[in-house]
Amino acid sequence: MSFYDELKFNDDGLIPAIVQEQSTRRVLMMAWMNRASIEKTIETGKTHFWSRSRKKFWMKGETSGHLQTVKDIAFDCDGDTLLIQVEQIGAACHEGYKSCFFRSVDPSQTARVTEARLENPDEIYGKK
């Protein structure tokens, strides 16, 4: 049986994909895939997602060069979430941090930045 038959896509045909850096086990980001973007990810070995806001495919790193090479694709017991192990080039976050999860909640319930910025977003994506 193809693993696709064990996946459950939501009403929009999407499934959330958690991306983890295999070497450090740092969780880098979460984004959405549809069946075609999973197929493209497997075919090319680079992560491809579906942008819900822009309604289009995107390959992670297509602008920044911060590609993700896929090492493993796992899925959960309910078949409604993917966990993808990758080798990450540069910063995964468009704000220049290694991980998109660069803020934590501190005891006063405000946000605290927990890691150093690796890169200047203006230099990656151009000034807006």
The answer to whether residue 73 forms part of the interface with a copy of itself (CB under 8 A) is yes
Which of residues 95, 120, 122, 125 is near a copy of itself by CB under 8 A? 95
Size of the site for a copy of itself (CB under 8 A): 38
The answer to whether residue 43 forms part of the interface with a copy of itself (CB under 8 A) is no
Cβ at position 89, least distance to a copy of itself in Å: 18
| Exposure class string for 41-74: b at 16+ Cβ within 10 A, else e | beeeebbbbbeeeeeeeebbbeebebbbebeebe
The answer to whether residue 25 forms part of the interface with a copy of itself (CB under 8 A) is yes
Q: Residue 40 has what DSSP assignment? A: H
Which of residues 94, 117, 118, 124 is near a copy of itself by CB under 8 A? 94
Name residue 68's beta-bridge partners: 88
Listed ranges 43-51, 54-62, 66-74: which one lies at the site for a copy of itself (CB under 8 A) = 66-74
For residue 7, which of 28, 37, 29 has the smallest C-alpha distance? 37
Listed ranges 43-51, 56-64, 90-98: which one lies at the site for a copy of itself (CB under 8 A) = 90-98
| Exposure class string for 90-124: b at 16+ Cβ within 10 A, else e | ebbbeebbbbbbbeeeeeeeeeeeeeeebbebeeb
Inter-residue contact 115 to 100 (CB < 8 Å): no
Nearer to a copy of itself, 83 or 118 (CB): 83
Inter-residue contact 48 to 57 (CB < 8 Å): yes
Residues of this chain that interact with a copy of itself (CB under 8 A) are 1-4, 6, 16, 18, 20, 24-27, 29-30, 42, 72-78, 81, 83, 93-95, 97, 100-105, 109-111, 114
